[in-house]
């Protein structure tokens, strides 16, 4: 059952340049007409049945806020065929990517990143935070490529670039991070759980982010090893230092294997530090648990404990057909469905985890179907939001700032069962 909340109705004088979306099904279940003007939602009213030239008829479709992707790897996207990962685990994936590093030219990275952006946009995602490998064999090559991509897509898809440095953070990686933040990265990143000094690595990253005045988003505890819990260190450091920028902890797998009391204690510290957590079900279901053939753990973070403590929990797609996750459609509704199936969220919360929550992670204004909110929207077939989420048709229309920026049409032709002859029907009745 989708939780009902009423559609906001506000009478705003109709402006020149207004466009109307007619008879759309809102999350609440109500049928509404929605006026767009000046890049925002100007008016939401109960459906009137009006159809004027230029109106968009959304009968039979559900209208949702556009999706936001809080955690992608556009520099690695679409390399699965080139970089097989037979082990299927995290280290196998890292080695597979290192094996093709030489072929990852500037042009190759730009082409794949832009293809991945088009896949996301067609399915309704208008903002993407991507981590980009910095240092080691990649140097600054992927960062330069993604900064170029970010600038080219500005106004159509918001791209944020996180400098994902290697380790040890106390050595070259820390210097790489500072350089990347000077050369165009928007957010400080890293993988403290792989560092010889995980807690120290968190501190170095936080210092670098603070000096640059940018948010921090770390790959955090992407392991089932319960002894690695840098999330607790992160919460403690952020609270003690009063770090003023947004902090995100991505993955947080090991929190999911702690006992209930530890989950609660750490989740409360995370919420108090205002750290947002990004769950990444596809990649973690794929990579984690391969050495646990019985009662295989899911590799998800402690979604329920974090939400119970009041922390923001967003969900992302992470890897799009690369050695870290060789399948996937780049669809936020695929992620939301996994948050229902594996994260045990109710459908409304699952939709929130790919809309409102990631927008908060990215520092974007909230998007709802309500007056004054950005007209970043997606419509797709469904009698209600649950059906739209469950079926996840690729048939979608996507608006950015009130303008249609993607339209995918799905046309199916399906045979009906043959009409039985009257004599056969009689025979069957006997
Ligand atoms: Zn990642």
Query: With bands split at pLDDT 50, 70 and 90, how would you rate the model's confidence at 424?
Result: low
**CA 355 / ligand 1 centre spacing (Å):** 19
**CA 131 / ligand 1 centre spacing (Å):** 7
Task: Please give the Cα distance from 2 to 50 (Å, whole number).
Answer: 27
**CA 294 / ligand 1 centre spacing (Å):** 26
- pLDDT of 226 higher than 60: yes
Which pLDDT value is given to residue 133?
96
**CA 408 / ligand 1 centre spacing (Å):** 28
**CA 52 / ligand 1 centre spacing (Å):** 46
CA atoms within 13 A on the CB side of 248: 31
Sign of CA dihedral 419, 423, 426, 430: negative
**CA 191 / ligand 1 centre spacing (Å):** 9
**CA 280 / ligand 1 centre spacing (Å):** 8
Which pLDDT value is given to residue 11?
43
Whole-Å CA distances, 294 to 223, 258, 259, 291, 297: 18, 18, 19, 9, 9
- pLDDT of 311 higher than 60: yes
Which pLDDT value is given to residue 418?
86
**CA 319 / ligand 1 centre spacing (Å):** 7
**CA 200 / ligand 1 centre spacing (Å):** 20
Q: Compute the average pLDDT of residues 38-42.
A: 97
Q: What is the pLDDT of residues 146-175, one digit of tens each?
A: 999 999 999 999 999 999 999 999 999 999
**CA 216 / ligand 1 centre spacing (Å):** 14
Q: What angle (nearest 5°) sits at the alpha carbon of residue 97, between those of residues 234 and 112?
A: 95
**CA 72 / ligand 1 centre spacing (Å):** 6
**CA 129 / ligand 1 centre spacing (Å):** 10
**CA 224 / ligand 1 centre spacing (Å):** 16
- pLDDT of 91 higher than 60: yes
**CA 130 / ligand 1 centre spacing (Å):** 8
**CA 245 / ligand 1 centre spacing (Å):** 20
**CA 320 / ligand 1 centre spacing (Å):** 11
Beta bridge partners of 162: 131, 187
The whole-angstrom distance between residue 332's C-alpha and the CA centroid of its chain comes to 6
Which pLDDT value is given to residue 6?
41
Using the structure block, give the residue that is written with the tokens 């072929």. 103
- pLDDT of 76 higher than 60: yes
Q: What is the pLDDT of residues 170-220, one digit of tens each?
A: 999 999 999 999 999 999 999 999 999 999 999 999 999 999 999 999 999
- pLDDT of 393 higher than 90: yes
Q: Compute the average pLDDT of residues 74-100.
A: 95
**CA 78 / ligand 1 centre spacing (Å):** 14
Whole-Å CA distances, 321 to 12, 84, 85, 111, 112: 45, 10, 11, 15, 11
**% of the chain surpassing 70 pLDDT:** 94
**CA 74 / ligand 1 centre spacing (Å):** 10
**CA 70 / ligand 1 centre spacing (Å):** 10
**% of the chain surpassing 90 pLDDT:** 92
Query: With bands split at pLDDT 50, 70 and 90, how would you rate the model's confidence at 17?
Result: confident
Q: Compute the average pLDDT of residues 220-227.
A: 95
**CA 71 / ligand 1 centre spacing (Å):** 6
Q: What angle (nearest 5°) sits at the alpha carbon of residue 268, between those of residues 343 and 218?
A: 70
- pLDDT of 419 higher than 60: yes
Q: Which residues of 291-325 are buried (b: 16+ CB within 10 A; e: fewer)?
A: eeeeeeebbbbbbbbbbebebbbbbbbbbbbbbbb
Query: With bands split at pLDDT 50, 70 and 90, how would you rate the model's confidence at 329?
Result: very high
**CA 392 / ligand 1 centre spacing (Å):** 24
Q: Decide: 64 and 378 in contact? Cβ < 8 Å.
A: yes
Q: Decide: 324 and 299 in contact? Cβ < 8 Å.
A: no
Q: What is the pLDDT of residues 238-264, one digit of tens each?
A: 999 999 999 999 999 999 999 999 999
Query: With bands split at pLDDT 50, 70 and 90, how would you rate the model's confidence at 422?
Result: low
Q: Decide: 91 and 54 in contact? Cβ < 8 Å.
A: no
**CA 261 / ligand 1 centre spacing (Å):** 27
**CA 178 / ligand 1 centre spacing (Å):** 20
Hey, what are 112's tokens? 């794949």
**CA 219 / ligand 1 centre spacing (Å):** 6
Beta bridge partners of 279: 315
């Amino acid at each position: 059952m989708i939780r009902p909340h009423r559609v906001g109705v506000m009478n705003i004088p109709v402006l020149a340049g207004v466009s109307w979306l007619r008879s759309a099904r809102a999350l609440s279940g109500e049928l509404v007409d929605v006026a767009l003007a000046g890049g925002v939602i100007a008016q939401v009213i109960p459906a009137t049945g009006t159809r004027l030239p230029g109106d968009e008829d959304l009968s039979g479709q559900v209208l949702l806020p556009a999706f936001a992707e809080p955690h992608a790897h556009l520099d690695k996207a679409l390399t699965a065929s080139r970089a097989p990962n037979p082990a299927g685990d995290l280290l196998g994936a890292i080695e597979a990517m290192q094996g093709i590093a030489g072929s990852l030219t500037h042009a190759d990275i730009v082409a794949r990143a832009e293809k991945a952006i088009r896949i996301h946009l067609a399915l309704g995602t208008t903002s993407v935070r991507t981590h980009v490998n910095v240092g080691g064999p990649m140097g600054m090559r992927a960062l330069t490529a993604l900064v170029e991509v970010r600038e080219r897509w500005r106004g159509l898809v918001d791209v944020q670039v996180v400098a994902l440095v290697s380790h040890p953070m106390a050595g070259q990686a820390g210097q790489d991070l500072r350089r990347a933040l000077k050369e165009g990265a928007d957010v400080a990143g890293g993988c403290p759980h792989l560092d010889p000094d995980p807690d120290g690595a968190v501190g170095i990253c936080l210092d670098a982010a603070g000096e640059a005045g940018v948010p921090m988003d770390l790959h955090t505890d992407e392991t089932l090893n319960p002894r690695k819990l840098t999330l607790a260190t992160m919460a403690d450091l952020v609270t003690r230092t009063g770090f003023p920028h947004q902090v995100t902890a991505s993955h947080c797998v090991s929190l999911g294997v702690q006992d209930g009391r530890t989950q609660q204690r750490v989740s409360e510290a995370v919420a108090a530090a205002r750290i947002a957590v990004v769950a990444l079900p596809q990649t973690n279901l794929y990579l984690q648990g391969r050495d646990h053939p019985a009662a295989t753990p899911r590799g998800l973070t402690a979604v329920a404990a974090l939400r119970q403590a009041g922390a923001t929990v967003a969900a992302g797609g992470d890897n799009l057909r690369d050695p870290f996750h060789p399948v996937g459609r780049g669809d936020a509704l695929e992620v939301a469905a996994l948050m229902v199936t594996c994260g045990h969220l109710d459908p409304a919360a699952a939709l929130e985890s790919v809309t409102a929550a990631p927008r908060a992670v990215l520092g974007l204004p909230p998007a709802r179907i309500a007056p004054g909110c950005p007209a970043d929207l997606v419509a797709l077939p469904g009698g209600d939001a649950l059906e739209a989420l469950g079926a996840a048709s690729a048939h979608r229309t996507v608006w950015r700032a009130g303008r249609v920026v993607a339209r995918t049409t799905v046309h199916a032709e399906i045979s009906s069962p043959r009409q039985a002859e009257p004599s056969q029907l009689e025979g069957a009745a006997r």
